[in-house]
Amino acid sequence: MGCCATARAVDCRNGFASLVRFFPDGKTLTAKIEEELWAQLYGSDPTGAPLVFDDQYITTGGQIYELLVGHDRMIGDLRPLVFARLKLKSSLVCHPYDICTSLLLTEAGGLVESPDGGPISVPLNTTAPVAWVGYANHRLASSIRPVL
């Protein structure tokens, strides 16, 4: 089962998928993680053509919508993990009220989880940082999760 046209997608080739990097803080590390993710999963195209397209939709609700309607195959928001790794303090991350829209995607057959593949488990408040990854279908999650 899946939520949309991307419900049948088996990978992210020739589709939209990305890790959130809206702001300068942590952008370099996040881009490196994403570059290595796609290289490990799909290698590179000998013609130099991009294999996966990037779509930086600047709200969590909008990102969930992009997955729900089939525009994107995978979106990950690792900002809390990246900022912690770089010892950066920032409130510009996803919070519980941002990710509450994930129920819509899961009800439609998509998947939203923590980056390690477990459930998202944070205090229900307005300040807790939330790292998450959303997939248009479970098959995509099964192939991307171990590499991510």
| pLDDT tens per residue across span 108-144 | 999 999 999 999 999 999 999 999 999 999 999 999 9
Identify the bridge partners of residue 66 per DSSP, sorted by sequence position.
none
Instruction: Give 1's pLDDT tier (boundaries 50, 70, 90).
Output: very low
Q: Smallest Cα–Cα separation from 139: which of 4, 3, 7, 40?
A: 7
Amino acid code (one letter) for 24: P
Distance CA 4, CA 48 (A): 29
The set of residues, in sequence order, having a beta carbon less than 8 Å from that of 37 and lying 6+ positions away, is 19, 144, 147, 148
Domains and CATH numbers, the chain: 5-42+49-144 (3.40.190.80)
- Residue with token string 């490990």: 40
Q: Does the pTM exceed 0.85?
A: yes
Q: Smallest Cα–Cα separation from 102: which of 91, 113, 92?
A: 113
* Per-residue model confidence (pLDDT) at position 102: 94
| pLDDT tens per residue across span 5-60 | 567 889 999 999 999 998 889 999 999 999 999 999 998 777 877 789 988 888 99
Cα separation values, 104 from 21, 56, 61, 87, Å: 23, 20, 10, 33
